[in-house]
Structure 1
Amino acid sequence: MPGRTPATPLSRPVPAPSRTSEKLPFRHSLATDNDRGIPVHSDTLIAAPIDHDISIPEGEGLKAWESWLDTCIKFEASDLIVKTGQSPRLRVRGSLKGMQIEPCTMDLLFRVAKDVLDPNQFEYFRQRGSIDFAYDFDERRRFRVNMFMARGKPAIAARLITSDIMKFEDLYLPEILGDVSMAAQGLILFSGVTGSGKSTSIASMLQYVNERKRVHIVTIEDPIEYIFNDDKATINQREIGIDCLNFNDALRALVRENPDVVLVGEMRDYETFEAAIRAAETGHLVFGTIHASSAWQTFGRIYDLFPENEREQLRKLLAYNLRAIIYQKLLPTLHKNIGRIPALEILLNTPAVQKYILEAREGELLQIINQSHDEGMVDFTTSLVRLVEEEYIHQDVALGATPKPEELKMRLKGIS
């Protein structure tokens, strides 16, 4: 595509797999049209089921698959992208880099699918053209994987998930989020695009609670992304497709599980958000994520999930039960030992914010954020200015990340 920067080749070839080709156990959740990363409506069959004779011997696909994953880990990549006719690519510090190996053939990728999936899963993939699952690479690392068909050929997108839960200071998150995570009840939302580090930040906040409070934490995930070990808290993690059939069933069961703190993952539909806000209203601390382009614009995304006749009641529920909205975007840094760093926008539900929500003045909340830095709030532009001034990111990176480049230029020149 014109204007795209080509992938940068890695400096060394793929190492041979260091482990045997014995198939590791893995857990998966089958794709539906509500699952993340699904490029087709996978609740219906594709026009023509996939039919391909595989000539590569059994087991060779698994060897290739695990060598790609091993390379992903060695280069500290966040993602692996595999496409027919190209060498596998890794996303390192936000940029795609190509492996110095032969391009993947259609035959090889179908062999990978046959070796990694069991017969029922492969048939699901064959009939629908897409499947989501989690693959356990070892005890500490797993991958969230989507296999899908693109222009009649197989492709794979995999994201590395580690059980190493980073602390606030390691993620360069402000201390105010520690205070937010210790709230007795309410709704805490992280907004941003896919790959912005929302799940990592929430895991850090849950671990903060785990180390400090004797509470019962229940997570509902698709798939489980971080493995928690009980400290002061008792933690039960439920995975869609393994521990429960779907989000709605898991949410309905929450009351019987007697949690104090709940993670409901991505709030992509009416049912999930309605259950989450009701849980917050009844005394639970609820964490979730949503796709939005700023903290204050998250309200519009939430209201769009609800029918018009329910929005006034929703507005009241948010006004009294919202604790915070944190928007974040990961940016490449100037430091070799820091991969990417979050630029943040933080909205805390103060009395002034509550008043604006009740008066349907959410579009004016950015003014409140700008006036409330001493209370722990921060607007996105100020966050970028701090990162540039503290020499974490280059000015050009900041300008490319902001929706208000002219305002940022003036702020960087000292003009407020």
Structure 2
Amino acid sequence: MGYLIDDLLHQAAEMNASDLHISENGPAVVRISGMLSKFGDMISDVYSLFEPIVPARQKNMLRENGECDFAYADSFGQRFRINLYRSTDGYNAAIRIIPESIPACDELGLPETIQKFSELPNGLVLITGVTGSGKSTTLAAILNEINQNRAVHILTLEDPVEYKFHSARSLVHQREIGSDTINFASGLRAALRENPDVIAVGELRDLETIAIAVTAAETGHLVFGTLHTRSAAETVDRIIDVFPEQQQRQIRVQLAGCLQAVVSQQLLPGKHGERTAAFEIMVMTTALRNLIREGKTQQMESYIQTGSRYGMQTMEAAVSGLKKEGKIFVNNVN
């Protein structure tokens, strides 16, 4: 059965928008190539527009907390990640439009170093960036590379599930926070009893989740996680700082032992209306592991600058390369 909201969602997807915003007593607003533009008629009752598609649990969350997240597939089969929230003006929705298929690593322009993370046997790989920087898409592409080429068990914990995987060479199970498990920490704890080879955690939000993820990586699993950080050094500091001071020395030792790589990314406007990803890449070496143990994260960038033989690059080098290749507007980048 189709709903009124489906037509609006479909229009946004047809416009190749990355996001759609719907506000009480205002027109819809789409984000295309990073820029916002209005379209369509005034919307007077946002809650009634969305009410038929909001799951019962999320309705309770919206009523109690003033906000909720859920995934939705419209009558055309297109998937969306929806955040519905209250404000002083009424109800509003922020909607991320999820590509219909999981992009291949080459389609996304992922550097070979990042693509090779799909071959790692174990350890912790962190994909970081601000909201809307493409972390979920990068992670999905890497996981699908594993799915297509390795006979392993992949278990994901997502809030909500975005890209839908179909088991290929791998066995893939996707669990959604709230409907399939209580929270990331609970799902991750259970995952250790579910015989996975690869675990993907949608977001490393809190001490307990981070601690279990590190333990999983130490005990032979390949663990992927995302954080809202802008650089490798900031990522390491963020993880360490989550823990009480008396535990920080121990977590430094653990992280130094299991961390395999950190990718920090941003999306930049391209010349043809698309957005192009730029990546800072840190691949762990003995020297970098020592910096983490010693708490000298401020020295990491200089090691990344000189680590090109390991596939490393700074964000500055990544952006410079995209400029030289003519893939981005020079004026759009500082």
Q: CA deviation at 1:163?
A: 4.3
2:58–2:69 Cα contact (<8 Å) kept = no
1:140–1:164 Cα contact (<8 Å) kept = no
TM-superposition CA deviations, 1:106-162 (whole Å, max 9, x none)? xx2132133333667545433432222211125753111111111141111111123
Who is 2:193 aligned against?
A: 256
Aligned partner of 2:214 among 271, 277, 286: 277
Who is 2:116 aligned against?
A: 179
Aligned partner of 2:279 among 326, 331, 344: 344
Instruction: Indicate the SS of the match to 1:266.
Output: coil
Provide structure 2 residue ranges, at least 5 long, that are not aligned to the other structure: none
Instruction: Indicate the SS of the match to 2:220.
Output: coil
- Higher Cα Rg, which structure: 1
Who is 1:51 aligned against?
A: none
Q: CA deviation at 1:235?
A: 0.8
TM-superposition CA deviations, 1:342-374 (whole Å, max 9, x none)? 111000001121122122211101010011112
More helix by share: 2
Who is 1:104 aligned against?
A: 43
Would the alpha carbon gap of residues 242 and 363 (structure 1) be closer, same or farther in structure 2, given more than 3 Å must change? Answer: same
2:10–2:76 Cα contact (<8 Å) kept = no
Who is 2:304 aligned against?
A: 369
- Looking at structure 2, the residues matched to 117 and 311 of structure 1 have their Cα atoms a distance apart, in angstroms, of 41
- Looking at structure 1, the residues matched to 177 and 76 of structure 2 have their Cα atoms a distance apart, in angstroms, of 20
TM normalised by structure 1 equals: 0.77
Who is 1:149 aligned against?
A: 86
- Looking at structure 2, the residues matched to 398 and 93 of structure 1 have their Cα atoms a distance apart, in angstroms, of 14
Would the alpha carbon gap of residues 119 and 164 (structure 1) be closer, same or farther in structure 2, given more than 3 Å must change? Answer: closer
1:163–1:225 Cα contact (<8 Å) kept = no
Q: CA deviation at 1:199?
A: 0.7
- Looking at structure 1, the residues matched to 148 and 69 of structure 2 have their Cα atoms a distance apart, in angstroms, of 32
Who is 1:197 aligned against?
A: 134
Correspondence 1:89 to 2:25:
no
Instruction: Indicate the SS of the match to 2:233.
Output: coil
Who is 2:327 aligned against?
A: 392
Q: What's the RMSD between the two structures over aligned residues? A: 1.6
The residue type paired with residue 240 of structure 1 is I
Instruction: Indicate the SS of the match to 2:26.
Output: coil
- Looking at structure 2, the residues matched to 306 and 117 of structure 1 have their Cα atoms a distance apart, in angstroms, of 36
Provide structure 1 residue ranges, at least 5 long, that are not aligned to the other structure: 1-21, 24-61, 400-416
Instruction: Indicate the SS of the match to 1:243.
Output: coil
1:113–1:122 Cα contact (<8 Å) kept = no
Who is 1:230 aligned against?
A: 167
Who is 2:20 aligned against?
A: 80
Aligned positions of 1:113-128 closer than 5 A: 113-117=50-54, 121-122=58-59, 124-128=61-65
1:133–1:223 Cα contact (<8 Å) kept = yes
Q: CA deviation at 1:312?
A: 0.5
Instruction: Indicate the SS of the match to 2:333.
Output: helix
Deviates more, 1:244-253 or 1:306-315: 244-253
**Identity over the aligned pairs, expressed in percent?**
37
Would the alpha carbon gap of residues 97 and 213 (structure 1) be closer, same or farther in structure 2, given more than 3 Å must change? Answer: same
Correspondence 1:295 to 2:232:
yes
TM normalised by structure 2 equals: 0.95
2:83–2:93 Cα contact (<8 Å) kept = yes
The residue type paired with residue 397 of structure 1 is N
Instruction: Indicate the SS of the match to 1:103.
Output: strand
- Looking at structure 1, the residues matched to 169 and 85 of structure 2 have their Cα atoms a distance apart, in angstroms, of 41
Length, aligned pairs only: 334
